[in-house]
Amino acid sequence: MNLDGFEARKADHLRLSMDPSMQAAGHSGFDLIHLFHDALPELDFKDISLHTKFWWFEAASPCFISSMTAGHQGGEALNIRLAKVASERRWPMGLGSQRRELQDPKAHEEWKRLRAAAPNALFFSNLGLSQLIETPLEKVKALIENLGSAAIIIHLNPLQEVLQPEGTPSFLGGIKALEKLCKISKVPVILKETGSGFSPATLLKIRKLKLGAVDVSGLGGTHWGRIEGGRANGTIFHAASQTFDHWGESTVASLLAAKSNWRRQKKRPELWASGGIRNGLDAAKAIAIGANKVGFAKPVLEAALSGEATLHAWMDRIEFELKIALFCTGSKDIAALQKETKWQKI
Confidence of residue 322 (pLDDT cuts 50, 70, 90): very high
For 242-277, the pLDDT digits (tens) are 999 999 999 999 999 999 999 988 899 999 999 999
Whole-number pLDDT of residue 20: 87
Hey, which bits of the chain come out as E strands?
A: 33-35, 52-54, 57-59, 63-65, 93-94, 123-128, 151-156, 189-193, 213-215, 270-273, 293-296, 343-345
Contacts 24+ apart (CB under 8 A), 40-49: 40/330, 41/327, 41/328, 41/329, 41/330, 42/330, 43/327, 43/330, 43/332, 45/323, 45/327, 47/332, 48/323, 48/326, 48/327, 48/331, 48/332, 48/333, 49/332, 49/333, 49/334
Instruction: Give the rounded percent of residues in the chain with a pLDDT score beyond 90.
Output: 82
CATH number at 16 reads 3.20.20.70
Whole-number pLDDT of residue 107: 82
For 169-206, the pLDDT digits (tens) are 999 999 999 999 999 999 999 999 999 999 999 999 99
Single-letter residue type at 147: L
Confidence of residue 69 (pLDDT cuts 50, 70, 90): low
Residue 62 makes CB contacts below 8 A (sequence gap 6+) with: 50, 52, 283, 287, 291, 292, 293, 294, 334
For 82-99, the pLDDT digits (tens) are 999 999 999 999 998 898
Q: Over range 52-61, report the average pLDDT.
A: 96
Q: Is the pLDDT of residue 13 over 80?
A: no
**Count of positions (residues) in the chain:** 346
Whole-number pLDDT of residue 217: 97
Q: How many domains does the chain have?
A: 1
| CB atoms closer than 10 angstroms to residue 134 | 11
Confidence of residue 1 (pLDDT cuts 50, 70, 90): low
Q: Is the pLDDT of residue 306 over 70?
A: yes
Mean pLDDT estimate for the chain: 93
Whole-number pLDDT of residue 9: 67
Residue 316 makes CB contacts below 8 A (sequence gap 6+) with: none
CA distance 278 to 220: 10
Whole-number pLDDT of residue 22: 84
Q: Is residue 119 exposed (0-12), middle (13-18) or buried (19+ Cβ within 10 Å)?
A: exposed
Structural domain of 51: 3-345
Whole-number pLDDT of residue 167: 94
For 214-247, the pLDDT digits (tens) are 999 999 999 999 999 999 999 999 999 999 999 9
